[in-house]
Amino acid sequence: MDKIKMITPLVEMDGDEMTRILWKWIKEILIEPFVDLKTEYYDLGLKHRDQTDDKVTVDSANATKKYGVAVKCATITPNAQRVEEYSLKKMYKSPNGTIRAMLDGTVFRAPILVDGITPYIPTWKKPIVIARHAYGDIYKAVDGLAGESKAELVYTDREGNKVTKLIHDFNGDGVVMAMHNTDKSIASFARACFNYALDLKLPLWFSTKDTISKVYDGRFKDIFNEIYQNEYKEKFESAGIEYMYTLIDDVVARIVRSEGGIVWACKNYDGDVMSDMVATAYGSLAMMTSVLVSPDGIYEYEAAHGTVTRHYYKYIKGEQTSTNPVATIFAWSGALRKRGELDGTKDLVDFANRLEKATIETIESGEMTGDLVGLFKKDGVTPKKLSSEDFLKAIAKRI
Ligand code: NAP
Ligand code: MG
């Protein structure tokens, strides 16, 4: 059989621990036998990030800007314990944070649905995609303890004019916080959400708490509305999808009652919390995909989970593990499909679809990794736990 040809390389960002092992197997067992794989390889494994003073992360983000599509393995975000474990020169920042800042992207997370694994909310039949704004709010806030004092919010313009607002006159101990966002970042977030909803042909719901936070959250609402009216209304209408803005309380109620099949745009904190709720409700973090989309249409695909450290320590002791590779497989299929769409290579798009279908069918026929066995219930099918490698081989047979 002739292997499928690629025109433009994918940017490949390798990673750490168990996911680095899965990465190699996925390529060897599921991709390279079928595709004449072209990638520009960047090793974001912690050792190599340390050797390059983290320059490799910046280089990989620049390559992603150049080529347009990347696939990324999970990576360690170092903490004090990792600095010691790897004898690092310093405590590097999260690679995902660095890449996100350089691409000015929005993160979309979507569950992979399988017949046999029923969401905890059984009416959810289609994926709920969470779009999380990845800049500002409490993640860049300044906060502190306040004693008996008057807390004020002061902002000074370039001419030195000050505006002062009383936050609270404290008669006892308390806490204060100030946070910000920028119109530029909110507008990028809005465009990324509109583009992604059009891409998936799914309705877009956006929610904030603008009844309480009239100026702050009101600004988000207004910027979304202005961009929608000026740039996207016609495109949405011709795609037959709707854009709806409503209060977060209202969306939470609607989401629970829905069938899924929605892109839900969330402010930073809402997205952080709601994506964990949605992931858990669909069954497993190991079945959650993640894609970073920049406002100018650059895509970086990955799994939503981490490097699965506990399994890796077993693996290096020579034990067989049953780590779930599905989200990482879907990162590859997502990236290959997007590359195929951009290059007009139908074979590659078809292959990506076949790979996903084969993965889902393997699980539906009862062959899966250990994490899914307890969740799987289907008449006439007894779930069987396979090692990661055997599971990948079972998928390969179905491609
Ligand atoms: P994790 O790697 O997601 O794993 C947490 C636990 O979830 C695992 O111990 C395992 O549970 C289960 N799990 C996650 N993915 C699984 C899979 N594919 N198959 C089977 N079980 C899976 O999170 P963590 O342990 O908090 O973080 C480990 C490292 O990953 C950290 O260094 C962190 O910095 C990094 N991280 C990276 C990313 C990223 O690159 N996007 C994201 C998050 C975390 P059991 O042990 O009970 O089987
Ligand atoms: Mg969270």
**What would the pLDDT profile of 125-165 be if each residue is shown by its tens digit?**
999 999 999 888 988 889 999 999 999 999 999 999 999 99
This prediction's pTM:
0.89
Q: 312 pLDDT exceeds 90? A: yes
Residues with CB under 6 A from ligand 1: 74-77, 96, 285-286, 302, 305-310, 323-324, 371
**In the chain, pLDDT over 90 holds for what percent of residues?**
89
Q: How far is the CA of 327 from the centre of ligand 1 (A)?
A: 12
pLDDT level of residue 279 (50, 70, 90 thresholds): confident
Q: How far is the CA of 75 from the centre of ligand 1 (A)?
A: 10
Q: For the CA atoms of the chain, what is the radius of gyration?
A: 23
CB under 8 Å to 127, separation ≥6 — which residues?
110, 111, 112, 113, 260, 261, 282
Best probe residue, ligand 1, of 96, 308, 310, 391 (max atoms within 8 Å of C-beta): 308
Which residue would you say has higher pLDDT here, 2 or 30? 30
pLDDT, position 285: 83
Cα–Cα distance between 215 and 145 in angstroms, integer? 25
395, 328 Cβ separation under 8 angstroms? no
Question: Which amino acid residue places its CA nearest to atom 1 of ligand 1?
Answer: 306
Q: How far is the CA of 271 from the centre of ligand 2 (A)?
A: 8
Q: 295 pLDDT exceeds 90? A: no
Q: Where are the beta strands (DSSP E) in the chain?
A: 10-14, 39-43, 69-72, 106-111, 128-132, 142-146, 150-156, 162-169, 174-178, 204-208, 243-247, 262-266, 288-293, 299-303, 367-368, 384-385
103, 138 Cβ separation under 8 angstroms? no
List the Cα angle 394/398/399 in 5-degree steps: 115
Which is the closest atom of ligand 1 to the Cα of 304?
41
298, 104 Cβ separation under 8 angstroms? no
pLDDT tens-digit series, residues 211-247: 999 999 999 999 999 999 999 999 999 999 999 999 9
Which is the closest atom of ligand 1 to the Cα of 15?
40
What's the distance, CA 51 to chain centroid? Answer: 27
Which is the closest atom of ligand 1 to the Cα of 311?
46
Lowest mean pLDDT among 53-67, 97-111, 257-271: 97-111
pLDDT level of residue 102 (50, 70, 90 thresholds): confident
Q: How far is the CA of 277 from the centre of ligand 2 (A)?
A: 9
Question: Which amino acid residue places its CA nearest to atom 8 of ligand 1?
Answer: 308
- Token representation of residue 124: 């959810």
In this structure, which ligand is nearest to the CA of 324?
A: 1
Cα–Cα distance between 399 and 396 in angstroms, integer? 5
Q: How far is the CA of 232 from the centre of ligand 2 (A)?
A: 30
Q: 284 pLDDT exceeds 90? A: no
Q: 113 pLDDT exceeds 80? A: yes
Q: How far is the CA of 276 from the centre of ligand 2 (A)?
A: 5
pLDDT tens-digit series, residues 8-51: 999 999 999 999 999 999 999 999 999 999 999 999 999 999 99
pLDDT, position 343: 97
332, 353 Cβ separation under 8 angstroms? no
292, 335 Cβ separation under 8 angstroms? no
Q: Whole-number mean pLDDT of the chain?
A: 95
Q: How far is the CA of 76 from the centre of ligand 1 (A)?
A: 10
Mean pLDDT confidence for 106-110: 92
Q: What is the DSSP letter of 76?
A: -
pLDDT level of residue 280 (50, 70, 90 thresholds): confident
In this structure, which ligand is nearest to the CA of 271?
A: 2
In this structure, which ligand is nearest to the CA of 368?
A: 1
Question: Which amino acid residue places its CA nearest to atom 42 of ligand 1?
Answer: 306
In this structure, which ligand is nearest to the CA of 130?
A: 2
pLDDT, position 287: 92
CA-nearest of 2, 35, 78, 68 to 299 is: 68
pLDDT, position 100: 85
